[in-house]
Amino acid sequence: MTLALDAGASRHDGVSQSSPASQQGMGRPAEAVPRERTMIQLFLSFERRVTDAILWLACAFLAVAASFGIYQVVTRFVFSEPSTWSEVGTRMALIWMVFLGTVAAFRHGALVSVDLAYRLSKGAWRKALHFTITAVTLVFLGVILWFGIDITWKVRFQELAGLEISISWAYLALPVGALFSMLAVVAHYFDPVHEELETAL
């Protein structure tokens, strides 16, 4: 009787001692998921602030381009003395506006797209399509980033006529826009927004 009770107690102790370890082992995957979500949330929070700042900067360049354009019209047709720098400045401001504005367009999924495959796909196929689109877009932006840096460096000694500054300041919009667009594309992968589907006819 005592032997049986001792054996039962030992089995009970073994279960009680092994259960915390098993619970800890089962708890690791559960803890990894919230940690991963927290990292993604931190990344999305950082990206949101950066994209908002980039969008405001793009709006500022739009205002600058409009102001330069108005100044060019007034000096040319009102005073008959066209400005030598406003047209070039307008062009440069528009370039920066486009490449910075593209960042917000990538983030909100507002670019024109062929969305038939995305509309028809579901489940795993849609996830695979979303991953493929993200990968191809990142490769494309990586090419722009690489060659944008290269051409910006090569033309650093050339000057813009009228502004008397290096033409590299205009070409710098290529790598800067591509870099922040890559950040927006990665954020769009984790938190997809498809405004092009909502505004499509």
- pLDDT tens-digit series, residues 137-179: 999 999 999 999 999 999 999 988 878 889 999 999 999 999 9
- Report how far residue 145's alpha carbon sits from residue 147's, in angstroms, rounded to the nearest whole number: 6
Amino acid at residue number 132: T
Residue 72 contacts residue 87 (beta carbons within 8 Å): yes
- 3-state SS assignment for residue 115: coil
pLDDT, residue 31, reads 59
pLDDT, residue 15, reads 39
Q: Which one-letter DSSP state was computed for residue 111?
A: S
pLDDT, residue 109, reads 79
At 156, list the tokens.
Answer: 């650093």
Residue 72 contacts residue 83 (beta carbons within 8 Å): yes
- Report how far residue 97's alpha carbon sits from residue 95's, in angstroms, rounded to the nearest whole number: 5
pLDDT, residue 25, reads 43
pLDDT, residue 147, reads 96
- Ranges in the chain, pLDDT < 70: 1-33, 112-114, 195-201
Using alpha carbons, select from 164, 168, 167 the residue that is nearest to residue 152. 168
pLDDT, residue 30, reads 53
Q: What is the 3-state secondary structure (H, E, C) of 74-109?
A: HHHHHCCCCCCCHHHHHHHHHHHHHHHHHHHHHHHC
pLDDT, residue 197, reads 53
pLDDT, residue 195, reads 64
pLDDT, residue 162, reads 78
Sign of CA dihedral 172, 173, 174, 179: positive
pLDDT, residue 94, reads 95
- 120-134 in b/e form (b: 16+ CB < 10 A) is eeeeeeeeeebeebb
User: Is the whole-model pTM more than 0.85?
Assistant: no
Domain ranges across the chain: 29-198
